[in-house]
Chains A and B, each alone.
Chain A
Amino acid sequence: MTVEIKRRSPLTFSETPLKTEVRDYWTVVQEYEAENDGPWVIDLSHRSRWDLQDSDLANVQPAGALIPDAPGHCAFDNGVLINRMNRTQASIWHLAGAPPELPADAACTETTDATLFLALIGRNIFAIAEKLTALDFKDPAKTVPFLYQGPFSHVPCQIVTLERTTGSGGILLTCSRGYGRDMGHAILAAGDEFGLRPAGENTFLRWIEALSA
C-alpha cells in the first residue's frame, strides 16, 4: 500500500462538499451543498502566506507592490494583500489570481502552514465578530482595508477588514494553526443565530472579484 501524498488544512467542516479540486496536494473545496445566501465562513488555509521582515521595509517591494507606510494599513492589489504589522514587519497573503513571485531573499518566511486562514463574509459578520472580540471593527477612524493584531475568541490573530458597508462586510483572519478546529467551532457557534455557513473557495473568489471591481 502506498500512502497518497496530501496537504491538509487544520480545519474541516462537517458540511458536504459539492465541488472540490486538488491543487498542489491540497484538496480545495470550491463549493459546499446548501451554501445559501450567507453569511459565510471560508477556509483559505491552502492559500500561500508569507512573513516579511526587514529593518528598512521601505526598500522592499514584494511581488512588485509597495508595503503600506503605517502599521495597521493594508494594500490589496492584483489578488495580493500586504498588511503592515509594525516598524519592521508585514504579512503577505495571496487571495486570488496568479501566485505572486516573491524575492527568495532572507526577509521572507513562508507561513502558509503556520496559521489557519479564514474569511468571514456577508451579512452580520460584525455582529458575529462582536461576540468573539472587543476589537472595534466599526471604528470610524479606520479606512478599509485595515489590520488588527489582537485576540479573537481569546486567541491572538491578524484580522484584516476588507469591507464594511451597511449591508455586507468581509474580514480575513489568521491564527496559530493548532487552534484551527476550536476557532472554526467558535466562529460557527457564534454565527449560528445569523445563519453562518461554510462556503467553498468559489464563493470567496466571486466576492473578492466583486470587491475589486
Chain B
Amino acid sequence: MKRLENLPTLRIHPEKTLRFEYRKKKLKGLSGDTLASALYANGIRIFSRSLKYHRPRGLYSLDGESSNTCMQVNGIPNVCTETTLLADGMQLEPQNISGSPEWDMKGFMDNLDWAMPAGFYYRSMHKPARIWPIALKQVRKAAGLGKISPDFQMPGRYDEIYPTADVCVIGGGPAGMSAALAAAEQGLRVILLEIRPWLGGFFDYRTADNGNGTSLAQSARQMAQQVEQNASVRVFTHTTVVGVYNNNLVTAFQKGRDGDSFEERYLEIRATSVVVASGCIERPLLFDNNERPGVMQIGCAQRLAHTYGLLPGKQAVFSIGHDLGLEAAVDLSDLGLAVACVADIREDGQDPVLLAALKERDIPFLRGWVATRAQGSKTLNKVTLATKTGTLTKEFACDLLVASAGMTPLTGPLSLAQAKLAYEPYTGFFIPKQLPDKVQVAGRMLGLNSPASIEASGQLAGVIAAADCGKSVEGRLQEARAQLNQLPGPDQGCKLVTAPVQGRKTFICFDEDTTIKNVKQALEMGFDATELIKRFTAAGTGPGQAGIPGHNLPLFVAQYHGDTQATAMPTTMRAPLVGTFIATYAGSNHDMCKRTPVHESQKNAGGIIRRIGVWERARYFSEDLSCREEIENVRQNVGLLDASTLGKFRLWGPDALKALQRVYVSDMSKIADGKVRYSAMCNDDGCIIDDGVVVKKAENDYYFTTSTARAGATVEWLRYHTRYDGWRFHMVNLTDAFGVINMAGPNARKVLGKVTDADVSDAAFPYAGYREFMIQDTIPVRSMRLGFVGELSFELHVPSSYMQTLWDILLDAGKAFGIRHFGLEAQNVLRMEKAHLIIGSESEQRTTLHDVGLGFLWDRNKSDAKTVGAVALKQTENQEDRLKLVGFKMEDPSRTPKDGSLIVDSRIRGHVCIARHSFTLKEPVGLALVDAPLAAEGTRLQIYEDECNGQHLHATVVPTPFYDPEGKQLKM
C-alpha cells in the first residue's frame, strides 16, 4: 500500500524499512509504525476472530480499546498491536483462529448465537450434573485468547523506577501539557505521562486551524517542545497508567524504544497532586455488524492517514455524532478518500464552517441519520443508513465506514482515584462531581471542544495543583480562572445510544462478544443494575476493560429503564486499567538474601546451601542427607558449624537490666560475671518465641544472642514492650558484626589450645563460661562454652571480617584431630539426641514455655518487672488439656516417621516435631507434642503418617535426653 507523503503530521520514517513476519509471510513496515499500522499497510484487514462467535475482527481503534487486534508477537500472546511499535524481525501470529483469519473453520459459531444467550455458562451444562465434566473440557478449549506454554520464558529485560513528583499529570495532550507547564512555572517537579509514543493528544494529527493561524498539529508540537525542554518536567511517553491509589500513588508502565535498556518498565510515582487530563475516546456507535472489518472510529481513520500515511479505504461512508467526524470527512476527502455520504446523528449543532466545507466538496450530508447495518460477509462492502426512527433507509456501497456516536471521557484514572462521577445531560459525559483530595481534572474530558478552552483548563488545573503543593498562587489562579471563563464552555454531546436495530448482531463488547440482545436478555431476567449485567453478560470484563463497552453499557441500561440517564453510572474500574505483563510488574526482581562470611568457603567444601528465612545456610556437607559422617565426627572427633546467623546484640544504659527483665522470663539480675545465662522470651500469651544466652560484660552493659529467626525483630520487640516506660537504654544489632563458629566434639579443646595462648582448660574456662581472648595474638574472640549438640563445644564470636581467617585457622589446626564441617541437618540430629529444642520445630504459635518443659526458666517473683508473658505463664501453669513435649522411640526400629506426622487415637492427639534415625543410639528417636494424658513414660503412641493407608506406626514415650543424660560430654 502506497503511503501518503509530505504530510507534516506523519510519525513514520519512510527512509527506514523494517522487516517482520506475519503468519510466516515476510512483510515490510516503516520505522514509526505500530504493528497494527504496518499490518494495515500490507493489506491485512482481518486481524483476529472473536472469542465466542469467531467473527472476523479488524482495526477499529488505535489505542487498544478492544482485543480485536491482539496477536501473538515473538511468542508472547495477547500483545496489543495498536500500541506496540514495530521492530525489525518481529514474528506475528493471529489469535483465536482455526485455519486463517480469512477462512476460520469455527466461523459457523456465529450462527449458533441462539444457543449462547446471556449467562449461558451459568444456566446450561449443569443439568444433568454428569454432562458438566464433558462440557467443561469443550468450554476450556474454547475459552480464553492466546496460547502460552507453561515453560515459556519471557524474553527481554524488564525494569522499574520509583520517582517522586510534586505534580503528576496523566495525559500528554494539550490540556495535560498546559497543566504541566503551569505547575512547572511555580517551581514544582512535574511528571507527565502519555500513553502514545509522543505528546499532542487530539491535536497531534489534525491540520485544522487552532484559531491563530497555525494548525493544531503544529501548535501541539510547539507545546511539546516547550514541555520537553522544561527541566522541571519529566516526560514519560508510551507510558500507560494502570493504577491510581489514594495518597496519589500512580502506577504505570512504559514501553521501551530503540536504545532503551528495557522492554517495559514499571513506574511507581508518589505525587503530592495529580492532574487527570486523560481526554476522550469515541463512544462506539451501536448498529448491526458494528465490528465488521472496515468499520472504524473517526480518530482511527484520521490517524491512519495523518500519522501513518495510510488512506484507510477507497470509498467511505461516515456515520458520526460529533464535529470531529465532519472535520475528518472533509480532511480525508482532501487526501483522496471518496466520501459517499456523511450521516450525522445530530439534528443540529454542527459547525457551519464544516458543513460548508462538505458542501464545497459535494459530499452528501444527512442530518439525523445513522448507520443501522454493515454488510459484507468478511469485510465491509455496503452500509445501510436510516433515520433515527428507522423509517427511511438508504444503502451505500463502500469499503470503509467511519462510525462513532460521539465522544466520551476516559474516566479510568479518575474512577480508580475514587472520584464520584455523575451523568451530565448537556455533554452526555460522566463528569466528576466530587474529586478526591489533591486530584484535579482538565481538558476535553470535561466536555470542552474548543482548543483554547482545553489549553486554558489545563493551565487552571496546573495552577490548582501547585496550590495543592502549598504554593501561594492566588493571583495566578484568578487569572487562569478568568481566562477559562471567557472561552467557550462544553459542547453539547450526542445522546444517541443505539441505532434502530434489534441488536442480535450489535456488539456492545467486542472482547466478550456481548450483544445488545444479550444485555436485553439479562435485563429481562431481572438483572437491573449495570454492575450485575456486566457480570452476567461479561460485557466489559475483557482485556480492553471498559474501552468499548465502558459508557455505552450504563447508558443503554438507563435508556432501557426509561429514565433520562440521570441515574446511569459507569461500572467500577479496577487496576490494572490496561493488560500488563507480569514480567513488567516483576521488574528486575532482585532477590536479596543474606550470606555468612564463610558462605563461599563452605560451598567450596561441598556444602549444600539452602535458603532459610533471609539467610542462605549450609544444610548438608555430602550427598548423604542422613549426614551420618558429619554426626559421627562430632561425637567422636570435632566439627565446625557456621552459626553466624544467630542474633547478637549489645544492650546498655542505666535501664538496661529493666529492659532485660521485661522481655526475658528469668531473673536477669542474677547473671554471674564470666558466665552465660540461658533464658527464653515469651509473648503475652506465654508462648515461647525465642531463646538465647545473655552475658554481662560490665555494669549495665550486656551482650546477648537470639535465634536466627528473631534477630530482625528483637530491637523492635524490646522497644515495643518498653514504649510507655521512658527507660534509658541503648541497643546495637551486632548480628552481622560477628561471625559465629560452633566448634564441638571431644577434640574441640585440643584444637582451640593450638591457636590461642589463653587458658581454655575446663578449670579456667568451665561449662557455661564466657571468655574474651585473642587468636594468634591478633583476632579478638568472644567465646562461650555451650552444649547445644551435646559435646564439649566452644562458640566463638569473631568480627565478621576475620571470620574466614579464623575458620581456616581452625580447619588447619584441627587436621590432626579429625576436624570437619557439619551443617544444619547434622546439628538438628545431634541436638535432638540431647532433646535440646529449636523454636519453631518443637514449638508452634500456641506452645507455651510450660508445654516444652522450660517452665523452670520462669521466675515468678519478679512481677514488678511486668515481664512479657508472665501473667499468662501463671495462668497456664496448671492448665489441663495442654500439649507436652515428650521423647519417643519406635516399636519397629526400621521405620522413622516423617516430621509433622500426627499422633492419633480416635482423634488427633498431637504431632511429631522431629524424628530421625540416631546413629549414636542406633535406632530412630524423636520428639513429639502430645496431649498431656499421653505424656507419661511408657505410653504407646499411634502415629499417622501421610499416605500410610491406615497402617499406623507405633512408638513409646521415653525419658529424654536420649544421649548422655548426665551431660558428661559437654562438661568435659
Contact = CB atoms under 8 A, between A and B. Distances in A.
In their complex, do chains A and B touch, with some C-beta pair under 8 Å? Answer: yes
Interface of A: 1-10, 25-26, 45-46, 51, 53-55, 88-89, 106-107, 109, 111-115, 130-134, 136, 138-140, 153-155, 176-183, 185-186, 189-190, 192-193
B734 A114 contact: yes
A130 B161 contact: yes
B633 interface: no
B588 A131 contact: yes
Contacts of B159: 131
Contacts of A193: 261
B730 A130 contact: no
Contacts of B738: 113
B733 A130 contact: no
B164 A192 contact: no
Nearest to B798: A113
Q: Nearest 3 A-B pairs (CB), nearest first?
A: A178-B594, A193-B261, A114-B737
Interface string B725-753: 00010101111111000000000000000
A180 B801 CA distance: 12
Interface in B776-804: 776, 778-779, 799-804
Contacts of B595: 10, 178, 180-182
Contacts of A109: 650, 732, 734
A95 to B, nearest CB: 18
A53 B801 contact: no
Contacts of B733: 114
Given A113-B799, A115-B736, A179-B592, A8 B779 contact: no
Contacts of B261: 192-193
Nearest to A194: B261
A110 B597 CA distance: 18
Nearest to B590: A186
Interface stretch (B70-78, B235-243, B475-483, B805-813): B805-813
B163 interface: yes
Given A5-B779, A115-B736, A134 B801 contact: no
Contacts of B594: 176, 178-179, 182
Contacts of A140: 189
Contacts of B614: 178
Contacts, number: 129
Contact of A183 (B592, B650, B698): B592
A178 B615 contact: yes
Contact of A7 (B164, B189, B736, B805): B805
B737 A113 contact: yes
Interface in B797-836: 799-805, 808-809, 812
A196 to B, nearest CB: 12
A178 B596 contact: yes
A37 B107 CA distance: 62
A6 B804 contact: yes
6 contacts: A5-B802, A26-B801, A53-B730, A106-B652, A114-B734, A178-B594
A112 B801 contact: yes
B270 A134 contact: yes
Contact of A138 (B189, B591, B728, B735): B189
Contacts of A176: 594, 735-736
A114 B736 contact: yes
A106 B591 CA distance: 37
B160 interface: yes
B268 interface: yes
A5 B652 contact: no
B593 interface: yes
A154 B592 contact: yes
B802 A3 contact: no
Contacts of B652: 106
Contacts of B805: 3-8
A181 B616 CA distance: 12
A5 B162 contact: no
Contacts of A115: 736
Contacts of B734: 109, 111, 114
Contacts of A114: 732-737, 800
Given A134-B268, A154-B592, A177 B732 contact: no
B615 A130 contact: no
B161 A8 contact: no
Given A5-B802, A130-B163, A182 B592 contact: yes
Nearest to A133: B162
B802 A7 contact: yes
A186 B779 CA distance: 32
Contact of A10 (B161, B588, B597, B809): B597
| From A5, A46, A89, A182, residue with most partner B Cβ within 10 Å | A5
B701 interface: yes
Given A6-B804, A131-B588, A193-B261, A88 B736 contact: no
A205 B36 CA distance: 55
Interface string B640-678: 000000000010110000000000000000000000000
Contacts of B812: 1-3
Given A113-B801, A134-B270, A153-B592, A5 B732 contact: no
A111 B732 contact: yes
Interface in B850-906: none
A39 to B, nearest CB: 14
A26 B801 CA distance: 9
B122 to A, nearest CB: 43
Contacts of B591: 182
A111 B801 CA distance: 11
A64 to B, nearest CB: 22
A26 B802 CA distance: 10
B810 to A, nearest CB: 9
Nearest to B732: A109
A114 B650 CA distance: 12
A5 B650 contact: no
Given A3-B808, A113-B801, A185-B590, 8 more contacts: A7-B802, A113-B737, A114-B736, A114-B800, A131-B159, A139-B164, A179-B593, A181-B595
